[in-house]
Structure 1
Amino acid sequence: MDYEEEQSAELDTLASIYCDDMEILSAEAPRRVRLTVRSADDDGEERQVWCAMVFEPPLKYPDEPPLLLLEETQNLDDEDQQRLVDHLMSMAEENLGMVMIFTLVAAAQEWLDNKSDELKKVKEEGALKKLRAEEEAEMKRFEGTRVSVESFLAWKTNFEIETGIVLRREKDLKDSRKLTGKELFLRDTTLNESDLKFLDDGNYFLIIMRNCNAVKVDESLFQDVDDLDLSEEDDDCDNYKD
């Protein structure tokens, strides 16, 4: 095999295929060529995965694998870089006896595409996880704190203390112990209203004066007056006298 001729022909072919992505560092043996490989995505230049590889075929290439060096990379950590080199060198061993730089570059392209897809998936899962966390936090805001009997009673006690309800209640209780029944009655106007309401709800309205002789009865308010037994009228009057 004419190694010189094989290497020269391959170099010309690579230059016609990769154009601006290829730079010939040395056209004479040992030849060196620099190729930039990018993932085929449209996620923006900053997020794109790419690397610059330098191939240096030995004198007996392609019966011996070319030397490979990663000069620049983007979005590839050290572990990624080592895995890529190992992958390409494994392929080089499989293609011994044939010019293989084009094959290795194509394999690198596929590997970077897969890596780019992997990074996108991780990014999407992270965004989804963040969104779910935000939604759960929002739901918890509306759910509030679960209340037990104990926690409610504790909250109620603190609330009454903070708002002064306890102090007012104690003061009212203390004041009520000092008031007479008449004073309590006069103080609570609702008692007056309830008595008036009781009288208004009745079917009869009688005005009883302290002097029994002044009692006036509106007999028209009664039905069947003849059936009334008024024989005890005098005795009843005596009960109203002082």
Structure 2
Amino acid sequence: MDPLEEQAQELEILQSIYPDELTILTPIRFQINILLDTDSKRRHAVLLDVTYTENYPETVPILNILEGAVDYDALENEEDDDDEEDGEGNYDDDDDQTISKRLLNLVETIQLDRDDYAELLRKIRDEAEDNVGMPSAFSLASSLKEHAETQFTEKLKSKEKEIMDIREAREREEQKKFTGTKVTPASFENWRQKFRKEMGIDRRLDERYADVHKGRLTGKQIFEQGLASGEDLEDTTDGKEVDMSELKKKLEETTL
């Protein structure tokens, strides 16, 4: 079939499929405005711009993707949200209540940008290459709608993750306030030495040792000064001397 005839037939079919969305600019160039299905109350659209080459469909058409048009008259009764664009703020400076509100309204802040259009165009051109030899405008328009909706959803999920990561990091910092320092043998020993120094335990022990007859006491003297229990004196008779190194060891143990 002659390429011009195939192109004319395809345009007729497209007119029946897209009665309101198709705009024929010239016999070889047209645009299809594609509304996207998203969870947003705002309406989003992409525009597929197609120009037939001389031998289309035996060659790839010239393609471009632009931001689509939205019928804003249909939205005139909807309430404007002045805070929609605030979703791009610094979430780490907001309180949890504000972050929760922005999470709820986040979908209203998502919009495809120039990089998104470039990625969509790459995908559509690759698909057009695969469809060489057959009319592909309808197939390309359908694929563009699917890819654009997926792109929108991925941007939304990415932004949600960004906000949740910030919230979780903040919660971890808050939780640290209620978590004590983990005790290890080394940290306990450091605390023990510091405590003994602050309380003057070693100094007081040394002073007590210096007061006991130059280092030795009889069993009776130890008992009278309250330095040992009766059990410590079971085998000690009056007048028998006691080794002060052993006594010092006992005092240190009881002091701690």
Query: TM-score, normalization: structure 2?
Result: 0.49
Query: 1:40 maps to which residue?
Result: 37
Query: 1:8 maps to which residue?
Result: 8
Q: Percent identity?
A: 31
Q: Radius of gyration: which is bigger?
A: 1
Inter-CA distance 141–20: structure 2 relative to 1 (3 Å threshold) = farther
State the superposition RMSD in angstroms: 2.9
1:2-151 superposed matches below 5 A? 2-26=2-26, 28=27, 31-45=28-42, 48=44, 50-72=45-67, 75-143=111-179, 149=191
What CA deviation, in whole Å up to 9, does each residue of 1:91-145 have, x standing for no partner?
Answer: 1121112111001111111211221221122122123212212322332344489
CA contact (8 A) 2:3 2:56 kept: yes
CA contact (8 A) 1:39 1:116 kept: no
CA contact (8 A) 1:88 1:104 kept: yes
Q: Distance in 1 between matches of 2:23 and 2:122?
A: 23
1:206-221 superposed matches below 5 A? none
1:116-195 superposed matches below 5 A? 116-143=152-179, 149=191
Q: Distance in 2 between matches of 1:2 and 1:145?
A: 82
Secondary structure class of the residue paired with 1:33: strand
What CA deviation, in whole Å up to 9, does each residue of 1:8-52 have, x standing for no partner?
Answer: 1211211221232221212x2xx2111123432222326x4x421
CA contact (8 A) 2:65 2:120 kept: no
| Shift of residue 56, structure 1, vs aligned partner | 0.7
Greater relative contact order (Cα < 8 A, sep 6+): 2
Q: Which runs of 5+ in 1 are unaligned?
A: 157-242
Amino acid in structure 1 at the alignment position of 2:147: W
Secondary structure class of the residue paired with 1:19: coil
Q: Which runs of 5+ in 2 are unaligned?
A: 69-109, 199-256
CA contact (8 A) 1:63 1:97 kept: yes
What CA deviation, in whole Å up to 9, does each residue of 1:175-214 have, x standing for no partner?
Answer: xxxxxxxxxxxxxxxxxxxxxxxxxxxxxxxxxxxxxxxx
Query: TM-score, normalization: structure 1?
Result: 0.52
Amino acid in structure 1 at the alignment position of 2:19: C
Q: Distance in 1 between matches of 2:115 and 2:66?
A: 15
Q: Distance in 2 between matches of 1:53 and 1:141?
A: 55
Q: Distance in 2 between matches of 1:69 and 1:116?
A: 19
Q: Distance in 1 between matches of 2:113 and 2:65?
A: 12
Secondary structure class of the residue paired with 1:8: helix
| Shift of residue 4, structure 1, vs aligned partner | 2.1
